[in-house]
Every structure is written in C-alpha cells, then in structure tokens.
Amino acid sequence: MNDLDATDRRILAALDEDGRMPTAMIAMRLGLARGTVQTRLEKLRESGMLRAHSSRVTPAALGRPVAASVQVELDQHQISEAIAALASIPEVLECFAPAGNTDLLLRVVAKDPDDLYRVSEEIRLCPGINRTSTSLFLREVIPYRVTGLLNEA
C-alpha cells in the first residue's frame, strides 16, 4: 500500500514508537478525532499494512536471549519440504529467500549457546538441507523500526 497520506504516516509513526498506544491516545497526541484514527487503523489492517491484534514480543522475554542468523544451502528439489520442516521449529522466527549464494536465511533464537547448537542441528537435519552456517548476533544496535520509511514522502 503506497498510497499512505500524511495522516496515515503520522498514525503509523506513533504506533512505531509505542505499538500498544491506545487509539484515544494516538488521537489526542496527533490532534485527530478518535473516530478518524479508528477508521484509518481498520483500513490499514484490512490492507495488510498492520497485523490485527499484534504486539512484538521480545524472544528474551520468552527465555530465548540468544539470537543468530542461519544461512542455509539446500537441495532445490526439496525446497517445499525444507520450508515446511523449518516452519515446525519454534525457534525459527523468520525465513527469507535472498538473492545470491544463500538459498534461505533464517533468524533464530535460543536459550544459550548450547541450545543454539541444538537448534542449528535441528535445522541441519531438516529434509533437503545440505549445509548451514550460523552467525551469532552479539547485540541489537538498531531495533526494528519503520519510522524512517514513514517520514519519506
């Protein structure tokens, strides 16, 4: 949805700052009618721009403070099976199909380094996966945000 107007962008920027901000608070902060904010949020959800009833939960709060990326090389004939198997691993938070030498790129979490080894082995043993390479994230230096994108006109 590229037809965001300035009001939509302001609402989304407020939510990017605090995803749990109530509609009434957004309206008050932005000087808009509560109904206007509510209607726009509903349209943004219907368009797929916002997930309904979603809050980002930090994996650390769920006992998984260790994060890593896993590059996966796979047998192209078994990509569907590999993705299905990866989707069944709770510690696999995201899976991307990037351009380049890597077939799949995963973001995973674990309890500690030993648990990361277990998760890596579980990934490696999925059908169709030939090789993996894991890189540990030491620190998050820029948290997930979209505010900068919303400020582009």
> Two tokens at 48?
């797929």
Q: What is the pLDDT of residue 4?
A: 83
For the sheet containing 92-96, what is the strand order? 92-96, 104-110, 66-74, 129-137
| pTM for the model | 0.73
Tokens 């206007």 found at: 36
Domains and CATH numbers, the chain: 6-55 (1.10.10.10), 59-137 (3.30.70.920)
Q: What is the pLDDT of residues 7-54, one digit of tens each?
A: 988 998 888 788 889 999 999 999 999 999 999 999 888 887 777 666
Q: Which amino acid is at 135?
A: S
3-class DSSP state of 94: strand
Q: At what angle do helices 34-46 and 23-30 cross, to 10 degrees?
A: 120
Q: How many CB atoms lie within 10 A of CB 99?
A: 5
With a cut of 80, say whether residue 125 has pLDDT above it. yes
Residue 135: its H or E element: strand 129-137
With a cut of 50, say whether residue 71 has pLDDT above it. yes
